[in-house]
Chains A and B, each alone.
Chain A
Amino acid sequence: MAMLKTILGNLLRPPRTRGPADMPDVPPVYRGALAHDAARCTACGTCAFVCAPKAITFTQDPGVSVSWHFFIGQCSFCGLCAQNCPTQAIGLQADAPGATNSAAGDGLRLESVVRLQPCTRCGAAHVPLPDAVMEALWGVGEAERGYCPECRRRAASEKLRAAFVPVQEAHHDR
């Protein structure tokens, strides 16, 4: 009797198996397809440092560019790269990630080329900081925006000294 009831009940209900069109909502924290924004990346290497399966690697074209590489076959979708990236250049999004299609290492690979820029002061090639970081550190339209890290350090200490020197002179006068 109970079995009949179950059968009748199940006749009226839709199947429990879901089709591709009837995808459940993914939670906001879902760790899916990985996306990388070359414009924000400073090639600092933090993402490669925290990536246990070494899915992220870097190659260099000296003086021209640094390339950020990602191979999905090695990614474990732990999300640590996205969580540790200081400039939020990496995000794991809600889309389903691509797949690897053979053991030979084929499958989705991402590459972002981060172009090096010559320093406007000394000419050394360097990775430019993302605009947002530059604005926060140096303001808009400052000359230091085009400097390499070495020249920026120099410029920062010069500014610091300029701020202190008058005080010192006043001290000497007395």
Chain B
Amino acid sequence: MPYSFPLGPYHPALEEPFKVKVQCRGEVIDSATVEVGFSFRGIELLAQKRNWVEVITLIERVCGICSNTHAMTFCMAAETIAGIEIPKRATHIRTIIAELERLHSHLLWAGVGAEDIGFHSLFMEVFTLRELVMDTLEAISGNRVNYGMNCIGGVLRDIPDPKRYLPALDTLSKGLAEIVIPTFTENPTALARTRGVGQLTQQQAVEWAVVGPVARASGLDIDVRKDQPYLSYADLGFESVVRPEGDVLARVVVRALEMVESIRLIREALLSLPVGPLRATEGLPEIPIGEATIRTEAPRGEAFYYVASEGGATPARVKIRTPSFVNIPAIEAMVVGQPLADLSIIQASVDPCISCTDR
């Protein structure tokens, strides 16, 4: 007897609202419909009512986890319009913060994923490691979230003593290599809940236009850091991680190996931090008439910004397309034929960020 079952609008893992309505036949899911928009905040409209300095603070709140990515991408768009080239030291610092943020985002996800499959001790281990990343971010920026590092023309805060952060990176690599990665890829409990679950074939990945780790776990080698290098990625060299399987396990592995690559990038950027100024401009920014589109690789995939200026005190238009916005609908394709009990880990496996979806 088929029945329909509404899950949400409260997410079973995080206190963020989106709704999945599933049609089930017994234990097995026939189809699902995803609904978002429960916490829409109208940031794009608000951005047209704030001046160029205030907008950065506002845009930083598009997402609580990848706050830096959004503020940074917006600043990059404004810099493109104004033709500002930011100093080398600033690009390195932006890269370091962006990669630290990726670590923190992926670790948060790994913890939530572990919690979703009922693996509490792994959740504790992962969150202990994440705390190291948060401490590093706090030591550099003064805050654990919403770092306030970016301004149009560069960065606001320096990293005066880059070598100080290397021991934390060592502990982190060790923790990842000895605990997190082996547990997710070898522990029978974790494997039983992730291998072959929530398949998204390469063909489907293209059809649903997924981005980021979800696309890379389905065999699509797309990553803005490699395809269109920005900041210091071209200087530091970058290897993307791709898996062909397309199941939850592949998404776990892609994120885990990406963290290893992020640690390498951060270490190299810290060791090769060029000397020089932090900002290319002084005082409050003035943005001439123009428009720009910028893509960056947020922890969850490609973030896309379109910014238009009419030369006034505020931007004329800020269009934001966030990675979760395109990844979340793909849950509909992943859950077909899966047991209802796996719904929670499948939807968690795309790392849905409702905050940025409902920007």
Residues of A bordering B, CB below 8 Å = 16, 24, 27, 29-31, 49-53, 76-80, 83-84
Across-interface contacts of A49 in B (CB, < 8 A): 51, 53, 284
- A51–B56 Cα distance when bound, in Å, is 10
Interface string of B174-212 (1 = CB under 8 A from A): 000000000000000000000000000000000000000
A52 touches which of B54, B143, B284 (Cβ 8 Å): B54
Q: Which stretch (B100-108, B133-141, B260-268) binds chain A?
A: B133-141
Given contacts A78-B146, A78-B148, A83-B156, contact A29 B140 (CB under 8 A): yes
Within 8 A of A (CB), among B22-65: 50-51, 53-58, 60-61
15 new A-B contacts, CB < 8 A, other than A27-B140, A83-B156, are A29-B140, A29-B142, A29-B157, A30-B138, A30-B143, A31-B148, A52-B50, A52-B53, A52-B55, A52-B56, A52-B58, A76-B61, A76-B146, A78-B148, A79-B148
Across-interface contacts of A16 in B (CB, < 8 A): 128
Question: Chain B's interface: helix, strand, loop or mixed, by majority?
Answer: helix
- A50–B54 Cα distance when bound, in Å, is 5
- A20–B56 Cα distance when bound, in Å, is 34
Chain B interface size band reads 20 to 34
Q: Which of A24, A29, A30, A51 has the largest number of chain B CB atoms within 10 A?
A: A29
Given contacts A30-B138, A52-B58, contact A80 B143 (CB under 8 A): no
- A9–B141 Cα distance when bound, in Å, is 34
| Top 4 closest pairs, chain A to chain B, by CB | A29-B142, A52-B54, A52-B57, A50-B53
Given contacts A29-B157, A83-B156, contact A78 B142 (CB under 8 A): no
List 20 A-B pairs, Cβ < 8 Å.
A16-B128, A29-B139, A29-B140, A30-B142, A31-B143, A49-B51, A49-B53, A50-B51, A50-B54, A50-B284, A52-B56, A52-B58, A53-B57, A76-B57, A76-B61, A78-B57, A78-B60, A80-B148, A83-B156, A84-B53
Given contacts A77-B143, A78-B148, A79-B148, contact A27 B138 (CB under 8 A): yes
Across-interface contacts of A29 in B (CB, < 8 A): 139-142, 157
Residues of B bordering A, CB below 8 Å = 50-51, 53-58, 60-61, 128, 135, 138-143, 146, 148, 156-157, 284
Across-interface contacts of A50 in B (CB, < 8 A): 51, 53-54, 284
Across-interface contacts of B146 in A (CB, < 8 A): 76-78
- A76–B58 Cα distance when bound, in Å, is 10
- A145–B233 Cα distance when bound, in Å, is 54
- A45–B81 Cα distance when bound, in Å, is 27
- A30–B50 Cα distance when bound, in Å, is 26
- A16–B128 Cα distance when bound, in Å, is 9
CB of B57 within 8 A of CB of A80, answer: yes
- A24–B134 Cα distance when bound, in Å, is 13
Closest CB in chain B relative to A33 CB, distance in Å: 13
Can you name the residue of chain A whose Cβ is closest to the Cβ of B313? Answer: A49
Can you name the residue of chain A whose Cβ is closest to the Cβ of B148? Answer: A78
Closest CB in chain A relative to B174 CB, distance in Å: 17
CB of A27 within 8 A of CB of B54, answer: no
Closest CB in chain B relative to A10 CB, distance in Å: 11
- A24–B140 Cα distance when bound, in Å, is 15
Across-interface contacts of B54 in A (CB, < 8 A): 50-52
Can you name the residue of chain A whose Cβ is closest to the Cβ of B138? Answer: A27
Closest CB in chain A relative to B207 CB, distance in Å: 39
Can you name the residue of chain A whose Cβ is closest to the Cβ of B58? Answer: A52
Across-interface contacts of B156 in A (CB, < 8 A): 79, 83
Across-interface contacts of B128 in A (CB, < 8 A): 16
- A24–B57 Cα distance when bound, in Å, is 27
CB of B57 within 8 A of CB of A27, answer: no
- A45–B148 Cα distance when bound, in Å, is 21
Can you name the residue of chain B whose Cβ is closest to the Cβ of A54? Answer: B54
Can you name the residue of chain B whose Cβ is closest to the Cβ of A79? Answer: B148
Across-interface contacts of B53 in A (CB, < 8 A): 49-50, 52, 80, 84
- A83–B146 Cα distance when bound, in Å, is 16
Can you name the residue of chain B whose Cβ is closest to the Cβ of A28? Answer: B142
- A118–B277 Cα distance when bound, in Å, is 42
Can you name the residue of chain B whose Cβ is closest to the Cβ of A29? Answer: B142
Given contacts A79-B148, A80-B148, A83-B156, contact A31 B57 (CB under 8 A): no
- A104–B139 Cα distance when bound, in Å, is 34
